[in-house]
């Protein structure tokens, strides 16, 4: 590989970010993935596609999402903290940026049926939503454990007309739902499109989803400029499950090396507790769900079941672009525990009147571990709202 490959933070023409990425898929998936690889950039750069996509983002999703200066939070941590309000999007999280893009793409590929995996249910809801919007059949795979802990989202998907199929293998969470969705796609090779919900999966998914989520940092730049006169903050922070809100939040800052990027993973009950989803800390290089990345696994290459209270972060891998940002040290990967995240969620609620998704609360929990030099500017991606997590919060705090 040439010098360019190691210096770029973006995908190369072979589908790799540095040494991570690629398409490790059985032949049964090859025709669909290859079709997508050949066409995604062409379709996405078509002015008609862009027009429809931008219009839906504006009128349906409600973009641009506000960049909000969190005054009381800023005071508490001694920095200027801005929140990128993805929680205010239609359906309540950043996930819809991607599903709106992919449904338009699926239409142009002539697909008649949509499948998706979901962890927290936000991606499932966002997928069911765009399928309702377009009148396309929708099947969502969700781990049986997640169906329990994210019940409100299951109800929303059903109301939208989607079929929710429980994944009952493994730890019955996001990884297993992804396996089932891939199996569905193998068995329905002709008219189905798989809307993957994060920057994971075989090439071109990680790059395609990143491009759809890049709107987050694109808006942040001009919004911050409007508010502070500078388009670059000192820090940008986001939580990482597969890593789509984080990539979206980082995307337009990747080549601005003065902006420090911080990705917060879920430590569960502690990184060394055996119940954790802190992939960069616990993982090693391997292949999961079609790409080479960092994976939590045994020395024999068996994937280790992760754990986090947050269904959306309860995943034993990260997208290949994150693996590259981690090994190249462009971004810093850290983790916080369940307890730290839940407390940060309550803190944000009490200081700003915003109940975050438990996923997003992970990013906020790391504020407490940072040392700010007075006047620094920080943008935190508030990837989703906490309505779906109320039962978990109530339970934890005994309200």
Whole-number minimum distance, CB 164 to ligand PLP, in Å?
15
Q: Where does this chain touch other proteins (CB under 8 A) — which range of 115-123, 144-152, 205-213, 291-299?
A: 291-299
Interacting positions 165-224 with other proteins (CB under 8 A): 169-170, 175, 179, 182-183, 186-187, 189-190
Contact flag: residue 286 with other proteins (CB under 8 A): yes
Q: Determine the 3-state secondary structure of 56 from DSSP.
A: helix
Contact flag: residue 258 with other proteins (CB under 8 A): no
Of the residues 95, 175, 221, 388, only one is catalytic, namely 95
The token pair at 393 is 């919060």
| Torsion of the alpha carbons at 245, 248, 251 and 254, rounded to the nearest 10 | -20
Distances (CA, A) of 398 to 9, 389, 391: 44, 14, 10
Whole-number minimum distance, CB 157 to ligand PLP, in Å?
13
Whole-number minimum distance, CB 105 to other proteins, in Å?
19
Interacting positions 193-212 with ligand PLP (CB under 6 A): 198
The residues, ordered by sequence, that sit 6+ positions from 40 with a Cβ below 8 Å of its Cβ are 105, 204, 208
Q: Which does 21 bind (CB under 5 to 8 A by kind): other proteins, ligand PLP, none?
A: none
**Cα within 13 Å of Cα(229), Cβ side:** 0
Residue 245: phi and psi, rounded to 5, are -70, -35
Contact flag: residue 299 with other proteins (CB under 8 A): yes
Q: Which does 198 bind (CB under 5 to 8 A by kind): other proteins, ligand PLP, none?
A: ligand PLP
Whole-number minimum distance, CB 93 to ligand PLP, in Å?
4
Clarify whether 352 is annotated catalytic.
Answer: no
Cα separation, 62 vs 166, whole angstroms: 31
Whole-number minimum distance, CB 180 to ligand PLP, in Å?
16
Q: Which does 122 bind (CB under 5 to 8 A by kind): other proteins, ligand PLP, none?
A: ligand PLP
Contact flag: residue 21 with other proteins (CB under 8 A): no
Nearer to other proteins, 176 or 340 (CB): 176
Contact flag: residue 301 with other proteins (CB under 8 A): yes
The token pair at 386 is 């906490």
User: E-assigned strands of 14-143?
Assistant: 16-17, 20-21, 67-69, 80-85, 113-118, 137-143
Cα separation, 38 vs 380, whole angstroms: 35
Nearer to ligand PLP, 7 or 391 (CB): 391
DSSP secondary structure code for residue 134 in this structure: H
Yes or no: say if 20 and 323 are a contact pair by the CB < 8 Å rule: yes
Residue 34, burial from CB neighbour count under 10 angstroms (0-12, 13-18, 19+): middle
Clarify whether 360 is annotated catalytic.
Answer: no
DSSP secondary structure code for residue 93 in this structure: B
Length of the chain: 399
Clarify whether 383 is annotated catalytic.
Answer: yes
Of the residues 74, 111, 117, 171, only one is catalytic, namely 117
Q: Which does 312 bind (CB under 5 to 8 A by kind): ligand PLP, other proteins, none?
A: ligand PLP
Contact flag: residue 11 with other proteins (CB under 8 A): no
Residue 95, burial from CB neighbour count under 10 angstroms (0-12, 13-18, 19+): buried
Whole-number minimum distance, CB 280 to ligand PLP, in Å?
13
Closest CA to 362 of 375, 344, 380: 344
Q: Name the residues that contact ligand PLP, by CB under 6 A.
A: 93, 119-120, 122-123, 198, 239-246, 312-313, 357, 359-360, 383-384
Q: Name the residues that contact other proteins, by CB under 8 A.
A: 14, 22-28, 30-31, 169-170, 175, 179, 182-183, 186-187, 189-190, 286-290, 295, 297, 299-303
Positions marked catalytic: 95, 117, 383
């Amino acid at each position: 590989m040439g010098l360019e490959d190691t210096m770029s933070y973006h995908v190369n023409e072979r589908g790799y970010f540095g040494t991570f990425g690629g398409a490790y898929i059985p032949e049964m998936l090859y025709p669909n993935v290859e079709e997508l690889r050949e066409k995604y950039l062409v379709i996405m750069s078509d002015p008609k596609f862009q027009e429809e996509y931008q219009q839906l983002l504006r009128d349906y999703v409600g973009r641009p999402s506000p960049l909000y200066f969190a005054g009381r939070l800023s005071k508490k941590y001694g920095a200027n903290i801005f929140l990128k309000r993805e929680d205010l999007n239609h359906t309540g999280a950043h996930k819809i940026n991607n599903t709106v893009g992919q449904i338009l793409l699926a239409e142009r590929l002539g697909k008649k049926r949509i499948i998706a995996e979901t962890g927290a249910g936000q991606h499932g809801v966002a997928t069911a939503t765009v399928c309702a919007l377009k009148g396309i059949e929708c099947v969502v795979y969700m781990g049986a454990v997640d169906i329990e802990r994210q019940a409100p989202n299951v109800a929303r998907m059903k109301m939208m007309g989607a079929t929710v199929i429980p994944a009952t293998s493994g730890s019955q969470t996001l990884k297993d739902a992804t396996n089932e969705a891939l199996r569905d796609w193998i068995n329905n090779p002709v008219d189905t499109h798989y809307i993957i919900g994060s920057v994971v999966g075989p090439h071109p998914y990680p790059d395609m989803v990143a491009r759809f989520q890049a709107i987050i940092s694109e808006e942040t730049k001009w919004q911050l400029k409007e508010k502070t006169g500078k388009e670059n903050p000192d820090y940008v922070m986001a939580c990482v499950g597969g890593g789509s809100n984080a990539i979206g939040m980082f995307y337009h800052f990747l080549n601005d090396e003065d902006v420090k990027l911080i990705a917060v993973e879920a430590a569960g009950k502690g990184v060394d507790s055996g119940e954790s989803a802190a992939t960069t800390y616990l993982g090693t290089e391997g292949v999961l769900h079609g790409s080479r990345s960092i994976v939590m696994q045994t020395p024999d290459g068996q994937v280790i079941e992760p754990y986090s209270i947050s269904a959306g972060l309860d995943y034993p891998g990260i997208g290949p672009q994150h693996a590259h940002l981690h090994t190249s040290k462009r971004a810093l990967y850290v983790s916080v525990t369940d307890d730290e995240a839940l407390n940060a969620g309550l803190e944000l609620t009490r200081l700003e009147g915003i109940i975050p998704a438990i996923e997003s609360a992970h990013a906020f929990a790391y504020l407490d571990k940072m040392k700010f030099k007075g006047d620094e500017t920080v943008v935190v991606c508030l990837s989703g709202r906490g309505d779906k997590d109320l039962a978990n919060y109530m339970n934890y705090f005994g309200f």
